[in-house]
Structure 1
Amino acid sequence: MAKKTTTSLLASTSPSWTVDILVCEGFVLTEMSAVVDTLRIANRVLAQPPFRIYFRSAQGGQLSCRAGLLVETTPYVDRPDADFAFVLGNTDPDHPGLSLGRVIKSYTNRGARVYLLAEAAARYLKDQRRAGATHWENAALLRERQGLFEASHALASEDGPVITCAGMGATTDIVLALIGRLTSAAAQLSVANIMLHEQVRDYSSLQPFAGAKPTITGDRDLDQAIRLMQANIEEPMPIGEIVAELGISTRSLERKFKTYLATTPNGFCREMRLNKANNLLLNTTMSVREIGLACGFQNGFSTLYKSIFGITPFALRKRRRLGGDPSIDFLNAGE
């Protein structure tokens, strides 16, 4: 199966990715919400919703979390066509439903990346006798049982196509990192802002997080530049004014955007404004002209929008209203 390549959604083509969420009885609702809501908001922010989400389990049917909420699932398949799979924890690393070595291999053999959260990660590390990351409670338990077991204290650890993760609240960081990798830093930031998620921690951040003053990107000048762009969306600041405020050169700022975000300052600012425009198009009754002005496009908003997304703002709004909210429709397991 040909897998989709990592690319910006602002390209002329609009890639999409299938995400399977693998659950067993007693799954952790925090992790379910972190995966589903973060991807759903990304679908809302971007003009062409890129994520299709399915719930799967060993036997299919309804499964409940510890809080008693139910989710309808379809069974695992021998030849999955998902691009990504998230295996949720369930507070019990000994649960037989987490013994998924064969299932994990069915995904990785077909080019998918698999994210194992908390207890699912602990079970995989134990069964495979590998090093990696899991929630610190699970790591402590495994050390007590096996003595020599060493789990990373980081939020996540990559081992080829398998990523072991701490789970719980850090799941949001992992999904935001995926969105940033697949789409763009501006899209990632837009989703994080809607979630009121102040800092996107990277895989190497330690758990529990008690580090220095949070940064958005890891570079304080870049953080401040982004904050200035956010604060002046209606009347974007010229790059010359931003660098004057920061006390650095234009070349230095361009290098930071290139190094950390793989884009230019102007490109990042424009995409951030377009992401806000998408959100306003779909969630307000403001006119297209009002939205353009609110996002710093004094003239030519519709023309620019169509050149980027291949559809006019009017057409996007009409299609979404006629077809419902695809960020929700995509969650139906039986599609």
Structure 2
Amino acid sequence: MSETKPNKRFVFLLLEEFSQLPFTCAVETLRHANRYTGRLIYDWILVGETGETARASNTISFNLNADLIETKRDDVIVVCGGINIKENTTAPVINWLRKEARKGVQIGAICTAPYVLAKAGLLDGKRCTIHWENLDSFQEDFPELDLQKTVFAVDGNRFTAAGGVSSIDLMLSIIGTDISQDASNWVSDQLIYNTARTERDGQRLSIPTRIGVRHPKLANVIKMMEGNIEEPISPSMLAQEVGMSTRQLERLFRRYLDRSPKRYYMELRLQKARNLLMQTDMTVINVALACGFTSPSHFSKCYRAQYDTTPYRERGGPISG
């Protein structure tokens, strides 16, 4: 086996309502790296604002080792977020992260926690990512950041992972750098994780897989729709872009998706609107404009037809994460 570098301690900051899966995936990947080396190359502690317990979004509580402690320069801080990320991003947490960052400590975040780092100003000038469901709201809140749609991103002494099992990919990358690629591969085998992804891999399933249809022209049209929410493209232009007539495009959508292109496009726009309403402080009018609606009344009418509530009442719902 390769000669290993000195021990590294991970300081997992568990915010209230954090997602357990990405946290557990990260710890288990590190644990198997210790098995590979035969010694404690990686260690970890759990910290939180109270220093007592942190409750995950699945309601399971975790005992913490400490509160917001002084870290060592060689420590690695990993902020673990989940639902209601804005409410759980507190002033003490922000101040602690800024203080520790001044020491040059490596700091990362998983799931929705990149929001916390961005709020603290720790992602300025850095590539970063966040869970795909939060991409729209994150981009609205921090338009100047270099936001990627990848499973994870590493830029200097900052790293972010999108949540779910993406923290396995991130930790495998770290193990590959710290120990060896053989070690990373061995850990991947132990986890029965046979397709480790890189910084270049996207988070979501391909469009054909998501819609259950392998039709290249249909996939291209949907890709154009998803990339042009604020300024929707007309069905005739979409059809022209893929070398079809509008009528042929209508038949294609009816056959495979049981709805018209216009209806499908509307659903995409309304889904983005719902995400923005539930995850940002944008006004309803600005949400409408961001989703291609020039008339607030038309937006409200379409929204009610889709979700059986108004955009204004939707503000009372849970925040995704």
Q: TM-score, normalised by structure 2?
A: 0.56
The partner residue of 1:109 within 102, 106, 119 is 102
Residues 265-284 of structure 1 aligned to structure 2 (within 5 Å): none
The partner residue of 1:83 within 47, 52, 75 is 75
The partner residue of 1:30 within 18, 21, 43 is 21
The partner residue of 1:152 within 123, 148, 151 is 148
* Identity in percent: 19
1:122 counterpart = 2:115: yes
Alpha-carbon contact 2:94-2:119 (below 8 Å) kept = no
How far, CA to CA, are the matches of 2:72 and 2:131 in structure 1?
27
Distance 1:79 1:173, change over 3 A: closer
CA offset digits 1:243-263 (Å, max 9, x no partner): xxxxxxxxxxxxxxxxxxxxx
The number of equivalent residue pairs is 203
How far, CA to CA, are the matches of 2:174 and 2:90 in structure 1?
23
Q: Which residue of 2 aligns with 1:235?
A: none
How far, CA to CA, are the matches of 1:102 and 1:80 in structure 2?
17
Shift of 1:149: 6.8
Structure 2 unaligned spans of 5+:
208-321
Shift of 1:136: 1.4
The partner residue of 1:49 within 40, 43, 50 is 40
Alpha-carbon contact 2:16-2:88 (below 8 Å) kept = no
1:97 counterpart = 2:89: yes
Q: Which residue of 2 aligns with 1:186?
A: 182
What SS class does the counterpart of residue 197 from structure 1 fall into? coil
How far, CA to CA, are the matches of 2:172 and 2:128 in structure 1?
20
Alpha-carbon contact 2:152-2:169 (below 8 Å) kept = no
Shift of 1:165: 2.2
Structure number, greater radius of gyration: 2
Q: TM-score, normalised by structure 1?
A: 0.54
How far, CA to CA, are the matches of 1:150 and 1:205 in structure 2?
16
How far, CA to CA, are the matches of 2:90 and 2:146 in structure 1?
20
Structure 1 unaligned spans of 5+:
1-8, 212-335
The one-letter code matched in structure 2 to 1:32 is F
The one-letter code matched in structure 2 to 1:19 is F
Q: Which residue of 1 aligns with 2:222?
A: none
1:59 counterpart = 2:50: yes
The partner residue of 1:176 within 152, 172, 175 is 172
Which shifted more, 129-138 or 84-93? 129-138
How far, CA to CA, are the matches of 1:140 and 1:20 in structure 2?
29
How far, CA to CA, are the matches of 1:41 and 1:33 in structure 2?
12
Alpha-carbon contact 1:93-1:138 (below 8 Å) kept = no
What SS class does the counterpart of residue 11 from structure 2 fall into? strand
CA offset digits 1:250-298 (Å, max 9, x no partner): xxxxxxxxxxxxxxxxxxxxxxxxxxxxxxxxxxxxxxxxxxxxxxxxx
CA offset digits 1:120-175 (Å, max 9, x no partner): 10232355374621111111123456777762112223343111221221111001
Which shifted more, 166-175 or 79-88? 79-88
Distance 1:140 1:98, change over 3 A: farther
Q: Which residue of 1 aligns with 2:251?
A: none
How far, CA to CA, are the matches of 1:103 and 1:178 in structure 2?
24
Q: Which residue of 1 aligns with 2:200?
A: 204
